[in-house]
Structures are given as C-alpha cells and as structure tokens.
Chains A and B, each alone.
Chain A
Amino acid sequence: MPNILQTNQLTKTIDGRDLVKNVNIHVKRGEIYGFLGPNGAGKTTVMKMITNLWKPTSGSVELFGEKLTKSSYEVLKRMGSMIEFPCFYDHMSGKENLQLHCEYMGYFTPGCVENALEMLGLSEAGEQPVKRYSLGMKQRLGIARAILCKPELLVLDEPTNGLDPAGMKQLRDLFGMLRTEYGITIILSSHMLSEVESIADMIGVIHHGRMRTEISMREISEKNTAYIELTAGDSRKAAYVLTEKLGLDHFRVMDERSIRIYDTRIDTQDISKALAMHEVQLVSISKKSESLEDYFLKLTEEGEKSC
C-alpha cells in the first residue's frame, strides 16, 4: 500500500531551538495513525507542517505522493484538519460556521452541513451562536468542520481534548466508521495512549522532538503479551512438571530459578498445586503484563535518559 503521508527528516528550528528534528512518519492509505507523545514533544509542530501552516526548516512532507511546497494549495482541498484548539467566528451559529467553511473549500454537497452536525451530535445546537457553546461542543464542532468536506486525509490534533468519556467513546466510534465507510485516513495525536490503542493501526511515538518509534499495534501486542513469572528452587524440575503434568509448552526457562509462562490461560493456583505435588520448591509466582501504557512510558523514559 502506498503512503498517503510521509515525512522525510522533517526538522523545525525556531530561534536556534529544535522543536522537532529528523522526524520520519509513514502513514498508509486507509489506516488510523496514532501520533503519541507527552506534552511539548512536538506533535503539534509536526501537524502544523503537515497542513502547511508552518514551513519546515529542513526535510520535507509528502502528501498523496507529492512533495509539499509553499505554493501547495490544491492538496489542502483533500484534507481536513483541526490543529490546536479550533477557532470559530463566535457571533455566527455553528451551522453558519460550517457553511462558511464549505464556501472557502469550494465544496457544495447539499445536506453535508446537517450531516456533519448530526454525526457529532450537534444537530440541536447548530442554530446557536458559537459563543454560547461549551468547550466540548466547540471541540466537536471543530471535528465536524474537519470531516465536513469528506477529506481523504484527516489530521486531528488532540481531538478528544475537553470531551467527557462518553464523548471520547463516540468519537472513537466515529473515527472507526469514517475509516471503514469512507476510507478516510486519519492521523490523530494524543498524549494518552489509552485513547488511541483501541482504534489505531499504527503508532508513532515522539519525544523531545524526535521520533522514538513507529510500530503497528499488532506488533506491540505481540511484543507485550502478558506472562506468568515463576521462581522455583530448580527451574529444570519445574519445567518438567509444566510440560509433563500440566501439558504446557509455551514457556521459557530464563535461568536456573525462573521460568516465564506465556500461556496465560492457566491458573497460577493449578501451577503451584502441581509443583507442590511433585515436590518442586516454589519461591514465587506472579502474573506479569506489560500494558501499552508501560511500553509508552518506557519509550519516553528512554528518551529522557538519552537527552
């Protein structure tokens, strides 16, 4: 599959300070890309360069197979974006704001405004002026505006900011729907992994302006399967019990005393019972699981050390 969005050694320096340095992102068509990083890592900076609001100091952005230049305007028709907190013309209603957006984008499909409002649950509030909106409503209106013109690529900077858990859930469902039904590619940033882990296909982690890793969700979950850590008096004896008596084969003898069992369906009690019956000394047994959150923290902490 071709990359719909790609950055090559993207660097932005302002006043001698590298906001982001040598960032390489690869987003394939039709996937949801979670762009993760703690606050101030450079997520917004990268997104501003993707949407051509900021020009890179060096490196380049490739969108739809074309390099972004300072006069790339046509490409903006094919993307929807929401960078930082969305701004509106406060005295106008939500609906009017969206209509204005259509005018500027040159997009005229009847009913698209009503449709977008409905998708974000703003049908009723649509007639009210935006100055009366709450934070979460503005956020949702911003997303409505981003998806209004059925873009091929959706760039959303912290879209769940200011939303309640129900709102977040609703958004996740919406993103999933947009991808499957309209084939929209979505890149969304967040500082919380838990927000994107259920919907993202790919994760890019940025820290202190540098890419830490780019990894598919599948790989992460394979890397981070939970296991049972078992410390026994004699690991070889214990391993024998595990294979012969419990019928387990998915485990690894780490050293003379410890074993990791990757088959987590088995109960720890059954293991300790079996070991006791066969007179294998059991020092400790515990379930371990490295959640994505841990993985994410590990990545960013490594960054901390190297900096």
Chain B
Amino acid sequence: MLKLIKLEWKKNNIIKYIRNAVILAVLLCLFIYALAFLGIANDPDGTLDAAEGMNTISAPIELFTSMSFLIFTSVMLASFIVSAYKNKTMNLMFSYPIKRQKILASQMTAVWLFNFAALVITKLFLYASVSIGSRGMQSPFLIDFDMGDLSFYVQLLMKAVVTVSMSFIALFVGMYMKSSKATIIASFILIFLTQANIGDYSLADNRVFPIALTVISFIFAVLSIYNAETKDLL
C-alpha cells in the first residue's frame, strides 16, 4: 500500500503540488499577517471591523486555511482520480494485478496524506508567524491561542482531519458526475455549508457537527470505491 501511494505521488508529479502548496502557504501567511498587524480589516477609525465573536485571530486563520486546502485537496483528487478516469489512465491502472479498490484507496490516501501534512504545516506556520509578530506589534485581533499548550495541537490536528476528509464528499460528486469541475464546485459548496452563518446560527461552531461530517465523509469515500470491482470503465 505504501508503495502504491509513493507511485501515485511520483506519477502525478507531486513536486508540482509541493511547490503550489508552498506558494499557497506563503500567500495565506502574507494575508493573515496583513489582517493581524497592518490593519487591512480595520474601519477608518482604527477599530476592527469584525462580527462579535469573530474578533479573534484564530477565526480568520482557521477559515482561510480550511477553505484553501479543501479546494486544494479537491483539485488534487480531481486530477489524481476523476481525470484519470477521463483520460483513460485508469484503464491502464485496472489492467494491473492489483485489486481495483486498493488502487483507488491508495490514490485517495495519497492525496489525503499530502494535504493533511500540508494543512497542518501551513497552520503551524501561520500561528507561529502571528505569535512571533505579536511580540513586537499590536494587533486589533485577540491573540487567542497558546502555542505552548498541548490542546492547541490536538485541536489543530483534529480540525485538519475534518477539513481534508471533507473533500471525499466532493470526490464522490465528481466521480458520480464524471467531471473534475464538479469535484471542485462541490468543494466550494461544502465551504458555504460548513463555514457560513445564517443569522446567529452557524454549523462551524457546533461540536457534534465536525464528527458527523467526518463520518459522512468517510462513508462517501467508501461509496466512491465500493463498486469499482464490477463497474465497467468507459
């Protein structure tokens, strides 16, 4: 399995994705830095223009990293799996003496692992930048995290799992519709569903919701590969 995952990375030109992830992380960092210390989200009078409860710096960090990497993961899943069906390299893969479900699972794991790692590193990078910056500068945001606390890391990892896994729902949609575009559009819809507020109500703050979402994501992951053994490739 590990070997299959490595081969997936190799043949899908993982270097390109590493480069893109680094660019994404740097852009996110610049943006968060500007938010936190350069006051781009401030009103002209210098006070922060943020909703009640959103004036902590972790809120934009979580929002923007999750958003970006959910899309990034979906794009990768689309090019690893959905477009492999379309450009027929999947036909080639299925002519190997390897169980089809295993092939698909290894592709999904390859993307999942990569993005999980990238997301965790990016988040750590952002939090660390903000935390270093806050030593010398004043931020209109509340610096509401403590990088010395273990629960900070546990939460960070858990949230990364939820975010990256969610893209499996997008993958299922993409595979069902046989379209890379559908995969990516589905990931946008997922962002709206999970991050948006309706009045005071937001799914983002619920405690049960992330767990339910992860479970649902994995159900969709299983559904995506469930009938691979018998389904004909067109």
Contacts and interface: CB of A to CB of B under 8 A. Distances in A.
Interface string B1-43: 0010001001111000000000000000000000000000000
A77 interface: yes
A89 B13 CA distance: 9
A246 interface: no
Given A70-B229, A87-B87, A106 B7 contact: no
A92 B91 CA distance: 18
Contact of B98 (A52, A85, A104): A104
Contact of B95 (A81, A91, A103): A81
Interface in B35-72: none
Contacts of A81: 95
A270 B162 CA distance: 93
A51 interface: yes
Contacts, number: 56
Interface string A90-111: 0110000000100111100000
Given A73-B98, A81-B95, A104-B96, A92 B232 contact: no
A55 interface: yes
Nearest to A155: B95
B20 to A, nearest CB: 15
A83 interface: yes
A95 B71 CA distance: 33
A77 B12 CA distance: 24
A182 interface: no
Nearest to A92: B11
B4 to A, nearest CB: 8
Interface residues on A, range: 20 to 34
Interface in B136-163: none
A54 interface: yes
A84 B87 CA distance: 12
Given A89-B11, A103-B3, A84 B97 contact: no
B198 interface: no
Given A70-B229, A92-B11, A51 B97 contact: no
Interface string B75-97: 00000000000011101111111
Dominant secondary structure at the B interface: loop
Most buried by A among B88, B91, B94, B230: B91
A54 B233 CA distance: 7
A100 B11 contact: yes
A76 interface: yes
A74 B13 CA distance: 29
Nearest to B231: A55
A106 B88 CA distance: 22
Interface string B107-134: 0000000000000000000000000000
Contact of B7 (A52, A84, A91, A104): A104
Contacts of A100: 7, 10-11
16 contacts: A52-B95, A53-B94, A70-B229, A70-B230, A76-B95, A76-B96, A81-B95, A83-B95, A87-B88, A87-B89, A89-B11, A104-B7, A104-B93, A104-B96, A104-B98, A105-B96
Interface of A: 14, 48, 51-55, 70-71, 73-77, 81, 83-89, 91-92, 100, 103-106
Given A73-B97, A75-B97, 14 more contacts: A51-B95, A53-B94, A55-B232, A73-B98, A73-B99, A76-B95, A76-B96, A83-B91, A84-B88, A84-B91, A87-B88, A87-B89, A87-B91, A104-B7
Interface of B: 3, 7, 10-13, 87-89, 91-99, 229-230, 232-233
